[in-house]
Chains A and B, each alone.
Chain A
Amino acid sequence: MSLLHVFEWFEATSVGAMIRQSTWMFPVIEAMHLLALALIGGAVLVVDLRLFGWGLRRMSVRQLASDAQPWMVGSLIMMIITGVLLMLSEAIKCYYNVAFWWKMGFLAVAIIYTFTVRRRVIAMDDGRLGPLGARVAAAASVILWSGVGISGRAIGFY
């Protein structure tokens, strides 16, 4: 069962076929992908900004992250659902697309990073880590998620 076989199976799903054959489904799902992107951008960046020592400085990192968390998780779920639907409709194209695999790589690392290292940095709340550590953590977050976004955009250009 090669990876290509898996993607051929994706391509052959009835969901994928339905989206492929519809005039409007792909654009609408894509628009929803974009809306969720704006939301996750705000939810992630507002905390990363705070870790840099900018933006909503009067709020504690922990409180801000706690407030942003449901929106980050919710929009991420939305991104994954819409992303999977988009992929199913053009699975073979994705399989052969370099940018798609870069995006998946960045996405995996970004998700793991966000829910492990970054979560711990937030919990420390500047106390033990110090401002430099917080800034490095925030920079890594911005770089990883930017990687997802940029390679996602690049899919359309290959």
Chain B
Amino acid sequence: MILSLFQRVQAMPASIAIRESIWLYPVIESAHVLGMCVFLGFIVMMDLRLVSATMRSAPVTEVQQRLFPWQMAGLVVMVVSGTLLVFTEPMRFYYNPFARVKLVLLVLAGINALAFHWGPYRRVAEWDHQAVPPGQVRLAGVASIVLWAAIVTCGRLIAYNWFN
């Protein structure tokens, strides 16, 4: 079912148009990379606070609340540009193992974020001002960093047709 959807998108005029444009694909790809600097940059700064590696004097809630809007703006850029990238060459992404692993990792990163916010973060008042948050919190931070590092790596490796 997904295969036939991807096949149909591959044949769409809009998809073909981007594929054949000299400049459109590079622009979308560049937006994806530069958006990553904003999105992932601020995610990592928050994670570094969670693992007590930086901004230790700032309450965690302050870091979270003040960076969140920018993280979300960055996320919009990432999702839109990422979707466009797949839209441009759906069949290539469909068969690419790194693309599939990246998608799974993205879901895991999302689950990790939600689990943190609906779990340990609910009781943030207890450890908000601590330079070193509780173990569970630090674990969520480490998991986030590891997952996103893997996501970026997989994303880069998609371009290499090692498994064709």
The interface centre, meaning the residue of A38, A70, A71 with most chain B CB atoms within 10 A of its CB, is: A38
A97 to chain B, nearest CB (A): 15
Q: Which of A31, A42, A64 contacts B40 (CB 8 A)?
A: A42
- Tell me if B110 is interfacial: C-beta within 8 Å of chain A: no
- Interface residues of B: mostly helix, strand, loop or mixed? helix
Query: Does any Cβ of A come within 8 Å of B30's Cβ?
Result: yes
Interface stretch, picked from B1-9, B13-21, B54-62, B132-140, is: B54-62
CB contacts between A and B, total, < 8 Å: 103
Stretch at the interface among B85-93, B112-120, B122-130, B149-157: B149-157
Q: How many residues of A contact B (CB 8 A)?
A: 35
Q: Which residues of chain A come closer than 8 Å to B156, judged between CB atoms?
A: 27, 30-31, 34
The interface centre, meaning the residue of A43, A70, A71, A153 with most chain B CB atoms within 10 A of its CB, is A153
* Contacts A31-B153, A35-B149, A35-B153 given; does A41 touch B56 at CB 8 Å: no
Residues of chain A having any CB pair with chain B under 8 Å: 23, 27-28, 30-31, 34-35, 37-46, 49, 55-59, 63-64, 67-68, 70-71, 146, 149-150, 153-154, 157
Q: Given A42-B43, A154-B26, 15 more contacts at CB 8 Å?
A: A34-B36, A34-B152, A34-B156, A42-B42, A45-B38, A45-B41, A46-B41, A55-B67, A56-B55, A56-B66, A56-B67, A57-B66, A58-B62, A67-B55, A153-B34
